[in-house]
Chain A
Amino acid sequence: MASKEQGVEATVAEFRNDIEKLRKEIARVIVGQRPIVDGVITCLLAQGHALLEGVPGLGKTMLVRTLAQALTLEFSRIQFTPDLMPADVLGTNVIGQDGGGGRSFSFQKGPIFASIVLADEINRATPKTQSALLEAMQEGHVTVAKTSYPLPRPFVVLATQNPLEMEGTYPLPEAQLDRFLLKLQVTYPSGEELNEILDRTTQGTTPRVEPVLDGPRLLELGQLVREVPVASKVRDHAVKLLQATHPDQPGAPRATRQYVRYGSSPRGAQAILLAAKVRALLAGRFHVSCGDLRECLKPALRHRILLNFEGEAEGISADRILDEILAAIPEEAV
């Protein structure tokens, strides 16, 4: 028994070691943005998808490309435009001629058939094209002409969107948003980080990223994440936090009752818990704490809360609602 525990403990240690290596490789290119990097890694380990939101030029695409470079995984990048069609993403059947001269339809895989898919400026595509990602993101396979084609594992969609340019964009539908494990908001770098960015990007040498993890190892790490135990009190706390986003719940705070139209779906609690497990492991613990839950609350739920008219008119953000929820449901309530 002790040897098994020691083996697990060694696995956890390797986990932390591998993730630390990954962080370092990413840090070769990406300056700062530790929460964003951790968030993306969390999505990788939890087998979830990430939506990165930020103004142009903050390195969203660079981050995803660097991550793909650090992992020995197939990477594809899709630039979403209004004229992008679902087939352009998923692939299509084309007529081909075999060696015997016979012609037959064959499926031509689209760019989604990759382990890491960068959906750049995903909100520029039409909802029809955006919806083409639903099955792939949730089920892990693509159905074309009644034929399902499994996606490679791991499969992670890392989408970016620009919150400023509203003209010619199509906001993601709630069902689509719910498929993303985390929504990461990329912020401006600090002055120190900006200096470092300038140093790296304006010199003659370009940082080279070496792959440190491959797909199977990533799946193992993901399996370890899911094995992290969660105490019932901690899980109850996650449930309370999720229920606090629903305006019709008795314990909902005032901001929720006033500004929220619909709260988070159960996927939100799953996202919180998975992200909290990753965070616990990354913190060197073997269990999830309430602090982990609370830290993961905003990226896991901010895209799952639908504001009502009053909230929209008042310019209330989802993060403000979640802040009030955190204040209303303290950790001592466990």
Chain B
Amino acid sequence: MDLTSWAEIDRLLGRATLRLRLQRAFRGGLLALAPALVGLGAAMVAIWAGWLDPGFFPFLLQVAGTFVPICALLGAFLPVDRLRLAYRLDRANDNADRLGSALEFSRLGLRRTPLMELQIADAVRHLPQVDPARALPWRLPAGARPALLACLLVAAASLLEPAPTSRPLPPPPPPPEEELLRTADLEAQREVARQLRQEAQRLQDPQLAQLASDFDELLERMAGRQIDREEALQRLEALQAAALIPPPLDRQAEELTTELAAIGQELKQEKVKEVEQLADALQRKDLGRSREELARLARLLASDKVPPGLLERLGKAFASLARKLASKLDSRDVEALRKEIGLLRQKMASRGLGAGEEQRLQELEQSLQQAVKRGGGQGPGPAAEPGQRAVNELHRRLDEAARGLADAARDAKQARTPPQQQAAESTRKQAGEKLQQSAEALERLDQARQQAAARQAAGQKLQQAREQMQRSAPGAAQSTAQAQRLEDFDSRAGTTRRGKTRAGQPAPTEGQGTSPPLGERGPRADSRLPGGTEARPAGGDAEQPPEQPPGKPPGQDGRQPQQLGRRGEGRTPADGQQAGTGHDPELLGEESRREAGFQEQQLLGKRGAGQSRSEIIQAAADRGFARVGYRDVYASYSGTAEEELARVRVPAGYRFFVRRYFELIRPRQGPEQGED
């Protein structure tokens, strides 16, 4: 074989091999480009979605950029089968397998036959018609166009501004506009505020007026939803506290009224005709009428028709009144001083006192020493409060009036000459003025007392408003304060609930035992619990009367049928939860004593249709059940119904009927409507 000829074949195959490697590198790069693009696209989507840090993208880009040439190199350096390549060249160039056969024959070496040599020479002769480009054309592999298009898209997308990873949070949703008070309830509270204003105007109480004004303003802010529930409750509580804290004079007024009632009773026993009305009014705590009586006596003294002996009797009566009042006030002063001193000393022993409190304690101790030294009381000490001073003023006026009356009576006896008579008359009129001043002091005391009562009532109304708002709070049904509020509500409604009666007597408690009907004997509870603990009668373990022997159910004689047959209850809360295992040894109780004086009565009925439903209801109202305004009752019960609807699983249709019912019984808008 001619080496020169064979070199031509080898050169041709080398060109074809190089072309094949390039194509493989290109194909390998394209094949690697597809997953790289897919990965980059996924990474970009993740970056736009905020799942991936944008700083990670360059790294991915580098990985993809490295992956593609690596795959291209791998493709380029894959081994090439030159024999297959030769046959491939033959196929593409219609060379009748000359190259392939020649390559095979060339590998035989000396075993080549002359025909093989001729074949190789024939293949060499046909080399010019062999073109590697026909066998290895540059063609895009399948899927290359979509891959290139995807590459362009990714490149274009990478130029876009990625979405910021830390996107601002959307504004928080506005808090739900909770309805602090329903419209009807709000109207009812506004009516309360109006009543407070009227009361303040009537009593000329600026503090009550301010309270009404603040409450009205609070209601308006609640209606406008300018404050939330918590703030509204806090303000209501503050208003309530302000209303329930009376001024110093108010604190003294009620106490003095009580003491005046006792004085009036004592004064009544002195049988002074002219002051009987005054004594009666004082005894009845009717300070208004007492003031009128004092004013009447003052007018009587100011007139010229003074009955004989009147001045003397009045002088004695008012001297006695002033003396008794002074005695009460002195004892009360001493007691009050000692009480406050005791509190401060107790506080000093436990936590210590501040600088102001120590000074106060020293002043109180000096005042107490002076009060003890005075014995009869010579006026308020330095520690006396303004209210105390007002009360003392009343005492001083009365004392002055008594002394004036005594002087007037003495002057009237000793007046012989006209000048003396004029002086006596002047003294009498001065005594009358003193009485008039006493009447005015009493009037101020009366007014203070009324103001205190009005503020007390206002405080209760504010408390009711606060409770109503708490009940309408979402989730309030589950709150622990609900039970207490319901209990308070029940107490105001005059009903019993959860083992307590209004009198504080034990009552059947849910889960602890049941009371049999009246007159029946219930099973005796097992008074002995395991461990030797004695059980107590059920119901109100905290309110157990001390005289009740533990473990022995009361009412065995049938006189207290409400407490018969209660299950035993242990001292621990868990006791009494189970049924008893024994019975009362005196199950039947004592026999009715024949010597007891029974009187048989027979109730006679009336034949007829009886009362209609409305008559029965009205009659029940007449008996005094409804002591709370209908608006308040409605507000309370509708709130309770809403709480139950929120707590209990009620079918939707039933919810509608419940709410419809309360809509039907809703109080009318007029202030005069819906009241008691």
Contact residues of A with B, CB < 8 Å? 1, 4-5, 7-9, 12, 227-229, 231-234, 283, 285-292, 331-332, 334
Contact between chains at A286 and B118 (CB < 8 Å) = yes
C-alpha spacing A288/B104, complex, angstroms: 12
A4-B114, A229-B116 known; A285+B96 contact, CB < 8 A: yes
Measured between C-beta atoms, what is the minimum distance from B538 to chain A in Å?
95
A229 to B122, alpha carbons, bound, how many Å? 13
Rounded to whole Å, the gap between the CB of B9 and the closest CB of chain A is 14
Chain B residue with the shortest CB-CB distance to A333: B87
CA distance A8 to B116 in the complex (A): 11
Closest 5 CB pairs of A and B: A289-B97, A231-B101, A286-B119, A289-B96, A8-B114
Q: Within 8 Å CB of B90, what residues of A?
A: 289
Can you list 24 A-B pairs, Cβ within 8 angstroms, ordered by A? A8-B114, A9-B118, A12-B115, A227-B115, A231-B100, A231-B101, A233-B100, A234-B97, A234-B100, A285-B119, A286-B116, A286-B119, A286-B122, A287-B101, A287-B102, A287-B105, A287-B115, A287-B122, A288-B101, A289-B98, A290-B97, A292-B96, A332-B91, A334-B84
Cβ proximity bits B47-87 to A, threshold 8 Å, 1 near / 0 not: 00000000000000000000000000000000000011001
Interface size range of chain B in the complex: 20 to 34
Contact of A285 among B83, B91, B113, B122 (CB under 8 A): B122
Residues from chain A with Cβ under 8 Å of B97 in the complex: 231, 233-234, 287, 289-291, 334
B396 within 8 A of A: no
Contacts of B121 in A (CB 8 A): 5
| A5 touching B118, Cβ below 8 Å | yes
- When distances are taken between beta carbons in the complex, the residues of chain A under 8 Å from B101 are 229, 231, 233-234, 287-289
B119 with A332: CB separation less than 8 A: no
Interchain CB contact under 8 A, A12 and B87? no
The yes or no answer to B27 lying at the interface (CB within 8 A) is: no
B124 to chain A, nearest CB (A): 12
**Among A232, A233, A332: residue with most chain B CB under 10 A:** A233
B89-132 vs A, Cβ < 8 Å mask (1 yes, 0 no): 01100001110111011000000011111110110000000000
Q: Is B88 among interface residues, defined by CB-CB distance under 8 A?
A: yes
Contacts of B83 in A (CB 8 A): 233
**B104 pairs with A8, CB closer than 8 A:** no
Cross-chain contact A334 with B116 (CB below 8 angstroms): no
The distance from the CB of A194 to the nearest CB of chain B, in whole angstroms, is: 33
A334 and B87 form a contact (CB under 8 A): yes
Smallest CB–CB gap between A145 and chain B, Å?
Answer: 44
Inter-chain contacts of B98 with A (CB < 8 A):
285, 287, 289
Q: Number of A-B pairs whose CB atoms are under 8 Å? A: 73
B308: shortest Cβ distance to chain A, in Å?
155
Q: Give Cα distance in the complex from A65 to B115, angstroms.
A: 34
Nearest Cβ on chain B to A169's Cβ, whole angstroms: 41
Q: Tell me the smallest distance from the CB of A187 to a CB of chain B, in Å.
A: 26
Whether B115 contacts A8 by the Cβ 8 Å rule is: yes
Contact B87 A233 (CB under 8 A): yes
Docked Cα-Cα span, A81 to B91, in Å, equals 49
Given contacts A234-B101, A289-B101, A291-B96, contact A229 B91 (CB under 8 A): no
A287 touching B114 in the complex, CB below 8 Å, given contacts A229-B105, A233-B83: no
Closest chain A CB from B87 CB (angstroms): 5
Contacts of A4 in B (CB 8 A): 114
State whether A233 touches B104 (Cβ < 8 A).
yes
Chain B contacts for A232, CB-based, 8 A: 104
Residue of A nearest to B112 (CB): A229
Measured CA separation A9–B87 after assembly (Å): 24
Bound complex: CA of A233 vs CA of B104, how far in Å?
8
* Cα of A4 to Cα of B118 in the assembled complex, Å: 10
Among the listed A8, A231, A289, A332, which residue makes an inter-chain contact with B118, where contact means beta carbons less than 8 Å apart? A8
Q: List the A residue with the shortest CB-CB distance to B105.
A: A229
Query: Are A231 and B115 interface neighbours, CB within 8 A?
Result: no
Q: Could you tell me if B115 and A229 are in contact, using CB atoms closer than 8 angstroms?
A: yes
Contact B91 A231 (CB under 8 A): no
Bound CA span A285–B90, Å: 14
Residues of B within 8 A of A8 (CB): 114-115, 118
List the A side residues contacting B102 at CB < 8 Å: 287
Expressed in whole angstroms, the minimum distance between the Cβ of B99 and any Cβ of chain A is 10
Please give, as numbers and ranges, the residues of chain A lying within 8 Å of B119 by CB-CB distance.
Answer: 229, 285-287
CB contacts (< 8 Å) of B88 on chain A: these are 332
Q: A229 and B87: CB pair below 8 A?
A: no
Residues in A neighbouring B115, C-beta threshold 8 A: 8, 12, 227-229, 286-287
Provide the bound-state CA to CA distance between A292 and B98, in Å.
Answer: 12
Bound CA–CA A292/B87 (angstroms):
15
- Which residues from A are CB-within-8-Å of B118? 5, 8-9, 12, 286
Chain A residues near B116 (CB-CB < 8 A): 229, 286-287
When C-beta atoms are compared, the residue in chain A nearest to B95 turns out to be A289
Contacts of A7 in B (CB 8 A): 114
B105 to chain A, nearest CB (A): 6
A286 vs B113: C-alpha distance when bound (angstroms): 11
Report chain A residues within 8 Å CB of B117. 1, 5
B113 CB contacts on chain A under 8 angstroms: 227, 229
Chain B residues with Cβ below 8 Å from A292 are 96
Q: How far is the CB of A333 from chain B (nearest CB, A)?
A: 10
Residues 440-473 (chain B) with a chain A CB within 8 angstroms? none
Q: Which of A227, A232, A234, A286 has the largest count of B CB atoms less than 10 A from its CB?
A: A286
